[in-house]
Structure 1
Amino acid sequence: MLGIDSGGSFLKFGVYREGKRHLDHLNLFPLPNTKEFLTFLFEGHSSILMTGAGADSITNLLSKENIDKIEFLPEFLATGLGGAYLAGADQCIVVNIGSGTPILYVDREEKKVKHLGGTGLGSASLAGLSHYLTGTSDLEEIGNEALKGNPSKVNLLISDIYSKPDEIGIPGYITASNFGKYQNWRHTNAENKPSKVDFLAGLHSMVGETIAMVSTLASRQYKDINPELPIIITGGGTLNPALINYLEFTYKYLNQKYIIPQNAVFATLHGVFLVKDLFSN
């Protein structure tokens, strides 16, 4: 049985054999896929499970024979159950960083996944804004380059606006305004202006801090049910080292428990098989 997670930026696929989940995978960026590749992928499979925002674009490239093989499954259900499964969590918040970032409450025992909201910031935001800022949109490149930059060159920090930040109960190193130092850029020597890697660092900090803050607030809605409710990070964003750096930094500041499971990028793909197993009867 073939499983496919067709997202807005990547396609992931895996094959279920002999009761075990063996994931053969190929990341494609950017989409769309080619008709020849999809025909090759479908060859030899009589049953195909599919989910993801890109499912419609895939079916437009397939023959009727191949379309008839497909069973479509709800994406949020697959993402939530897949993320919880990979993390070994019974109850959790799953944050799936794809093109954008949905936030899901998951109760595996109840087979329940609830979409709590999310943010439009995600990997596509990083690629798009980086393109406009630096002319580069390759996610692997910008993620590595951002690690070399200093986000405080572009972000306005609490310590920049409060001489005694402890008096307001917020550490001075916390961001007060993403890209808020633009006034400084206009009134400084050229050599002191932010570099390309500083802009990339600032961009990744903005996306990482926002996702961490929004998901932490979501998890606190359930503190009466489970005060130790973990946040599970999944999706293609887990492959970006700079994004993960700022996510982890913010979660630690907020004292929020989080888990980035192994193979987190394939959480939704694992989930399509789980959904099929759980709801087939």
Structure 2
Amino acid sequence: MKVAVGIDVGGSTTKAVALKGKDILGVSEMPSSDPLATSIGLLGKLVVMMGYSLQDVEVIALAGGRSSQLPDSILGLRVVKVNEIKAAGTGGVVLTNLDEALVVSMGTGTALIEVRNGGKNIRHVGGTGVGGGTLIGLSRKMLGVSSVSVLVEMAERGDSKRVDLTVGDIVGDGIGMLSADMTASNLGRVGDTSSIEDLAAGITNLVGEVISSVTYLAASKLGLEDRVILVGRIAKLPPVLKSIQKTLASFGVKPIVPKLPEYAVAVGAGYMVSIGEG
């Protein structure tokens, strides 16, 4: 079996993975500049890393927002363009070896993808405009910080409870299915003296809780509460992931975070094309 290379051509970062079937042979990423130059660079890097040649690559599978800008052949290799939703859903179940799941693809925004029958049936069931773009937008405007890594470092030094209002703050105790320490109003306690670290924690908590809420509603509707998979780079951001895990745990849901969650789209695209489903 020859190698399939899946490439997720994103707006800020392009990620690539080499696969044989479901076996991941290598991964790499680099900042997105010119989509073609970046894709060629990643292809060459993977081939060198694996000790292979271009002749060992059967096909390049492209997905992501900027994949439409690329040609149908790169360095003489066949290129197949794959729907990003289907790629993310497939990547989620390939990375976890599940036959069905609700895949939560967290990028600039967040997409909720129902996957059934080992990826044969994939349906986009909803999502939210809250995601990585929200993190950066709020951080840039409120904190003057445009770097996700800096935002995360600040959030880990802060405490969202000093800028959020809890259910207990408002009603004195828990209410309904919500315990007293659950958030009633994100950033509802922000004042003139709130620290930038606490604001950073509040921003990451807001994003995590919004994603969690829409995820739970979809999972419960679909009967997939025990098979929620988190993919995308946000799954690698500790304060956001902690917020998601805590909120979902309050609803009895324990999400699955696979290894290499940020490569789910590239993995899904490469796998789909390798089995003739691109």
Contact 2:16–2:43 under 8 Å retained in 1? no
Contact 1:9–1:124 under 8 Å retained in 2? no
Of 13, 16, 25 in structure 1, the residue corresponding to residue 16 of structure 2 is: 13
Equivalent residue number for residue 117 of structure 1: 126
How far off its partner does 1:178 sit?
0.9
How far off its partner does 1:9 sit?
3.1
Contact 2:165–2:186 under 8 Å retained in 1? yes
CA distance in 2: counterparts of 1:229 and 1:22, whole angstroms: 29
Contact 2:108–2:131 under 8 Å retained in 1? yes
| Pair 1:65–1:169, CA change in 2 (3 A) | closer
Q: Which amino acid aligns with 1:134?
A: L
Of 175, 180, 193 in structure 2, the residue corresponding to residue 172 of structure 1 is: 180
Q: Which amino acid aligns with 1:215?
A: T
Contact 1:8–1:99 under 8 Å retained in 2? no
CA distance in 2: counterparts of 1:154 and 1:42, whole angstroms: 45
Could you tell me which runs of 5 or more consecutive residues in structure 2 were left unpaired when the two chains were aligned. Answer: 45-53
Equivalent residue number for residue 3 of structure 1: 6
Structure 1 residue 47 and structure 2 residue 59: aligned? Answer: yes
Q: Which amino acid aligns with 2:199?
A: F
How far off its partner does 1:20 sit?
4.1
Equivalent residue number for residue 217 of structure 1: 217
CA distance in 1: counterparts of 2:40 and 2:258, whole angstroms: 32
Contact 2:6–2:268 under 8 Å retained in 1? no
Q: Which amino acid aligns with 2:84?
A: E
Contact 1:222–1:229 under 8 Å retained in 2? no
Equivalent residue number for residue 47 of structure 2: none
SS at structure 2 position matched to 1:23: strand
Could you tell me which runs of 5 or more consecutive residues in structure 1 were left unpaired when the two chains were aligned. Answer: 187-192
Structure 1 residue 272 and structure 2 residue 269: aligned? Answer: yes
CA distance in 2: counterparts of 1:117 and 1:7, whole angstroms: 21
More strand as a share of residues: 2
Deviation by residue 1:81-114 (Cα, 9 ceiling, x = unmatched): 1101212221110001111110001113361111
CA RMSD of aligned residues (A): 2.6
With structure 1 as the length reference, what TM-score do the two structures score?
0.84
Q: Which amino acid aligns with 2:10?
A: G
Structure 1 residue 255 and structure 2 residue 260: aligned? Answer: no
SS at structure 1 position matched to 2:113: strand
With structure 2 as the length reference, what TM-score do the two structures score?
0.85
Equivalent residue number for residue 25 of structure 1: 28
CA distance in 2: counterparts of 1:270 and 1:63, whole angstroms: 19
CA distance in 1: counterparts of 2:241 and 2:119, whole angstroms: 30
CA distance in 1: counterparts of 2:189 and 2:125, whole angstroms: 33
CA distance in 2: counterparts of 1:144 and 1:201, whole angstroms: 9
Contact 1:14–1:22 under 8 Å retained in 2? yes
Equivalent residue number for residue 90 of structure 1: 99
How far off its partner does 1:157 sit?
1.2
Equivalent residue number for residue 244 of structure 1: 241
CA distance in 1: counterparts of 2:21 and 2:184, whole angstroms: 53
How far off its partner does 1:144 sit?
2.3
Contact 1:107–1:113 under 8 Å retained in 2? yes
Deviation by residue 1:153-212 (Cα, 9 ceiling, x = unmatched): 21111111112x236553111111111124xx25xxxxxx21111001000000000101
Deviation by residue 1:106-150 (Cα, 9 ceiling, x = unmatched): 113361111011011111211121011111111112112211111
CA distance in 1: counterparts of 2:209 and 2:97, whole angstroms: 25
How far off its partner does 1:258 sit?
1.2
